[in-house]
Amino acid sequence: MDKIKFIEKLKELDTNGKTTLDLYNEISLLAMKYGMQSAKPFNGKNAYYLSMEFLIGRSFYNNLLELGVLEETKCVLAEKGIDINVFEEIEDAALGNGGLGRLAACFLDSAAGLGLPLHGYGIRYKYGLFKQAIENGFQVELPDDWQRFGDPWSIRRDDEKRLIEFADMKVYAVPYDMPVFGKKINRLRLFQAEGSAEAEKISEYLYPADDTEDGKILRLRQEYFFSAAAVGELLEGFVGQHGKDFVKFPEFNVIQLNDTHPVIAIAEFIRLLTKKYGMDFADALILAKQTFAYTNHTILPEALECWNDDYVKKILPEIADIMIKIGEYAVHEFKELGCRKEQITDMAIYSEGRFYMANLAVYIAKTVNGVAALHTEILKNKLFSTAHKFYPHKLQNKTNGITHRRWLELCNKELSELLDKTIGRGWRVDITCLERFNDFTEETIDEFIQVKQTKKEQLLKYIAKAEGVKISADFLVFAQVKRLHEYKRQLMTAFAILEIYYAIKSGELRDFTPSVFIFGAKSAPAYKRAKAIIKFINEIAAKVNSDSQTNGKLKVVFVQNYNVSYAEKIVAGTDVSLQVSTAGLEASGTGNMKFMMNGAVTCGTMDGANIEIVEKAGKENNYIFGATVEELAKLKEEGYNPSSFLSNANHKKAVESLIDGTFSDGGSGEFKELYDSLTAGASWHEPDNYFVLYDLECYVNTLIKVCRDYSDKKLFAQKQLINIANSAYFSSDRTIKEYAKDIWKI
Ligand SMILES: *Cc1c(COP(=O)(O)O)cnc(C)c1O
């Protein structure tokens, strides 16, 4: 079937009396047939990306775009009286939580686009990340039953299912293959757990609650389940093709571990080589060192997997033995390198009854990479400083990226067309061409202002429909959309908005450009403070939006169920991207890159990839504020006293609104708890652990400055435009090329 044939078939499609869902499935299957015929096996070296999360979003539009038939399909459907946007009712496949999972999806997209053989391995969760509703200001979690729409983009492979064994149960890992279309067709293989009811639980939920022993064991099972299925089939496939000459295995395979969740794959690899294929332990260890590479995504301790040995011994006794043995080899090696005792402890894989999975990864992996320049420096100087001293070549940086196909071509057709017109279509294939946009004229700026206005209107119209909040498209649009976490400091934005609100109300702030603050965020279900922050923002929104004295100037909206599809709309329609994490804590961020590429200026801290964004687009075209990593380190040393900031009357009023009855937390006491976290701390952390009060004043001033600058619309648009023109570096095409060259050698 060639493209003409595909379009013919599409024209022949009988749409009468069919539901959107029927049509979605039929068109998708037709496109699969069209796309898959050019799939061919590849015999060279492949890279495999093991990840707990793949936050794919909607496949329909993206796949049609990659197959080069999106516009044609749109036209054919229009002739039949069907608007292609009706398929927006098909919900996202949200098999991920946030940035880490979205990165995995962007990487697969870029690799296919570049024709590089990179394949994904993960879990086919029955329920993805919960669907969020906001009721009475509180987050409500609903199951995400994404499969009810059908799954036309996957092919179930019963013939390739594998048995995964735990001490107490056996589970089938049944592959579902999703093609990733591009110059080359790669594959995302997601395993579904089948067998007993107990076994099926393994692929039921993304991140099941792990505050109980059962929950922790389930999570360990998940990690082992897909890692073992992946490693098992890679070794078996190798033997089928090349026999048992495993020395050659790394010539054909490289395995990238996306964060610490799949690190257990290393132990399984060695287990299979020694137990199933009869290799010496020492040889298997060397082979593992040539095969695995590891990406660290965060320095927050909660994301660095660490297992109690009784859990591992109970359900995976052979894996426990192997990890203990790897730990012994490591200690031996560390001693030979001349490590001191405390250095050995620092790098320990097995110590005092616990397995440190990040240390296991760092010891084995041939490369360890951070995800932005600053983050990699922190890994080198802090988290993995000992390892860096003894293995100076292991650590390297690979600044994250985003696929410009989804995050520009697909989500911003209007801007894409403006680019085509001014710099030619070349950027769609080679994103570095975007640079030419730096030679803009007055006319380009005017046209860009028009594009931004159109995208803003589309976004605000959608928000009015989905959230019931009406906002004028003349407003300046700020957005802070990302997972809800204290370190991302949505709470600081909330306080800043309150201060601005009171200042407008009192008449103190007169020349404030009418602005809307858009929030979108899900909180982990058990994360009480994050949920309290959601409620607090919604309380502020209710107050601000209903105040007729100010609501011509200031509005706040918290959108429900922030996900990839929502993000596609928000990044295109936003003027100012809020990236205000505590310096040193946002490893990279990728939301910041999506906004930049769509012409939003960054208002943020010197953290993660923000630093590189302003390096490329110029500090003068963005709004940087707040304490740096160095300042915060010094402050911690000297002793930080957040309460002193409450002597500022504006801060006091904003912060005390948590406890003075201005807002209601429905009697839950959670606002008081938030207040205490800032002023008193808790047993496990200092007061205002994330320096919200420290950075608040300069944040408010920066926001006000952004508003003032916006009154010169042309100058502001010029800043936005320069951001677009210098965003090519943040395409994941660049990132993937670096991985391919420096790590994977594919
Ligand atoms: C890009 C993206 C993220 C990551 O956002 P950050 O601002 O980098 O944390 C999270 N969720 C969704 C749905 C995304 O598209």
pLDDT, tens digit, for every residue of 42-91?
889 999 999 999 999 999 999 999 999 999 999 999 999 999 999 999 98
The one catalytic residue among 184, 221, 394, 488:
488
Ligand 1: distance of its center to the CA of 571 in Å? Answer: 10
**Res. 425: pLDDT tops 90:** yes
Please name every residue paired with 476 in a beta bridge, in sequence order, or none if there are none: 515
| Short-list 33, 105, 98, CA closest to 736 | 105
Ligand 1: distance of its center to the CA of 134 in Å? Answer: 19
DSSP 438: G
Q: Answer for the pair 509, 500: CB distance below 8 angstroms, yes or no.
A: yes
Supply the residue whose CA is at minimum distance from atom 6 of ligand 1: 591
Structure tokens of 416?
């894409």
436 counts as catalytic:
no
Supply the residue whose CA is at minimum distance from atom 8 of ligand 1: 589
Hey, which of 485, 562, 590, 593 would you mutate to test ligand 1's pocket, going by the most ligand atoms within 8 Å of its Cβ? 590
Band (pLDDT 50/70/90 cuts) for residue 304 is confident
Q: Which residue's entry shows tokens 């799939």? A: 39
Ligand 1: distance of its center to the CA of 735 in Å? Answer: 17
CA distance 222 to 230: 13
Ligand 1: distance of its center to the CA of 101 in Å? Answer: 9
**Res. 209: pLDDT tops 90:** no
Mean pLDDT of 24-39: 93
Q: Answer for the pair 279, 235: CB distance below 8 angstroms, yes or no.
A: no
594 counts as catalytic:
yes
Ligand 1: distance of its center to the CA of 234 in Å? Answer: 31
Torsion (CA) 691, 694, 696, 697 in degrees, nearest 10: -170
Ligand 1 nearest-atom number relative to CA 563: 13
The HSE-up count of residue 99 (CA atoms within 13 Å, CB side) is: 24
Q: Quick one: pLDDT at residue 210?
A: 82
376 counts as catalytic:
no
What pLDDT digit, counting tens, does each position of 348-388 carry? Answer: 999 999 999 999 999 999 999 999 999 999 999 999 999 99
Ligand 1 nearest-atom number relative to CA 608: 8
Q: For 121, list phi and psi in degrees, rounded to 5.
A: -130, 130
**Res. 188: pLDDT tops 90:** yes
Q: For 542, list phi and psi in degrees, rounded to 5.
A: -60, -45
Hey, which of 53, 297, 481 would you mutate to test ligand 1's pocket, going by the most ligand atoms within 8 Å of its Cβ? 481
CA distance 415 to 425: 12
Q: Answer for the pair 36, 185: CB distance below 8 angstroms, yes or no.
A: yes
CA distance 528 to 524: 8
Ligand 1 nearest-atom number relative to CA 488: 9
Q: Quick one: pLDDT at residue 148?
A: 92
Structure tokens of 680?
């008193």
Band (pLDDT 50/70/90 cuts) for residue 1 is confident
Ligand 1 nearest-atom number relative to CA 594: 1
Q: Which residues line ligand 1 (CB under 6 A)?
A: 98-99, 102, 482-483, 563-564, 567, 589-591, 594
User: Other C-beta atoms within 10 Å of 150: how many?
Assistant: 15
The one catalytic residue among 58, 297, 569, 651:
297
Element at 55 (helix H, strand E): strand 54-57
Dmax (CA) of the chain: 79
Q: Answer for the pair 269, 230: CB distance below 8 angstroms, yes or no.
A: no
Ligand 1 nearest-atom number relative to CA 564: 13
Ligand 1 nearest-atom number relative to CA 566: 13
Q: Quick one: pLDDT at residue 302?
A: 78
**Res. 39: pLDDT tops 90:** no
Q: DSSP readout, 708-735?
A: HHHTSHHHHHHHHHHHHHT-GGGBHHHH
Mean pLDDT of 437-446: 97
Band (pLDDT 50/70/90 cuts) for residue 557 is very high
Supply the residue whose CA is at minimum distance from atom 11 of ligand 1: 98
Hey, which of 564, 565, 579, 593 would you mutate to test ligand 1's pocket, going by the most ligand atoms within 8 Å of its Cβ? 564
Ligand 1: distance of its center to the CA of 175 in Å? Answer: 27
Band (pLDDT 50/70/90 cuts) for residue 40 is confident
Ligand 1 nearest-atom number relative to CA 94: 13
Q: How many angstroms separate the first and last alpha carbons of the chain? A: 31
Of the listed ranges 289-293, 298-302, 590-594, the least confidently predicted one is 298-302
Please name every residue paired with 46 in a beta bridge, in sequence order, or none if there are none: 253
Please name every residue paired with 545 in a beta bridge, in sequence order, or none if there are none: none
Q: Which strands form 554-559's sheet, in the order they lie side by side?
A: 554-559, 515-520, 476-481, 576-579, 601-604, 623-624
Ligand 1: distance of its center to the CA of 661 in Å? Answer: 34
Residues present in the chain in total: 746
Sort strands 306-308 and 354-356 into parallel, antiparallel or unpaired. Answer: antiparallel
Supply the residue whose CA is at minimum distance from atom 7 of ligand 1: 591
261 counts as catalytic:
no
488 counts as catalytic:
yes
Ligand 1: distance of its center to the CA of 102 in Å? Answer: 7
CA distance 442 to 29: 46
Ligand 1 nearest-atom number relative to CA 579: 7
Mean pLDDT of 111-126: 97
Q: Quick one: pLDDT at residue 409?
A: 97
Band (pLDDT 50/70/90 cuts) for residue 303 is confident
| Short-list 648, 711, 558, 665, CA closest to 133 | 558
CA distance 35 to 1: 9
Mean pLDDT of 249-259: 98
3-state class of 697 per DSSP? helix
What pLDDT digit, counting tens, does each position of 577-633 carry? Answer: 999 999 999 999 999 999 999 999 999 999 999 999 999 999 999 999 999 999 999
482 counts as catalytic:
yes
Supply the residue whose CA is at minimum distance from atom 9 of ligand 1: 482
Cβ-Cβ contacts under 8 Å for 268 (sequence gap 6 or more) = 224, 227, 228, 231, 232, 319
Mean per-residue pLDDT over the chain, rounded:
96
The one catalytic residue among 131, 271, 452, 594:
594
Q: Answer for the pair 522, 484: CB distance below 8 angstroms, yes or no.
A: yes
**Res. 108: pLDDT tops 90:** yes
Mean pLDDT of 229-254: 97
Ligand 1: distance of its center to the CA of 532 in Å? Answer: 21
CB burial class (10 A; 0-12, 13-18, 19+) of residue 630? Answer: exposed
Question: Which percentage of the chain shows pLDDT scores above 70?
Answer: 100
The pTM assigned to this predicted structure is 0.97
Band (pLDDT 50/70/90 cuts) for residue 208 is confident
| Short-list 301, 164, 167, CA closest to 224 | 164
Cβ-Cβ contacts under 8 Å for 454 (sequence gap 6 or more) = 414
The one catalytic residue among 261, 483, 522, 555:
483
Q: Quick one: pLDDT at residue 207?
A: 85
Ligand 1: distance of its center to the CA of 311 in Å? Answer: 32
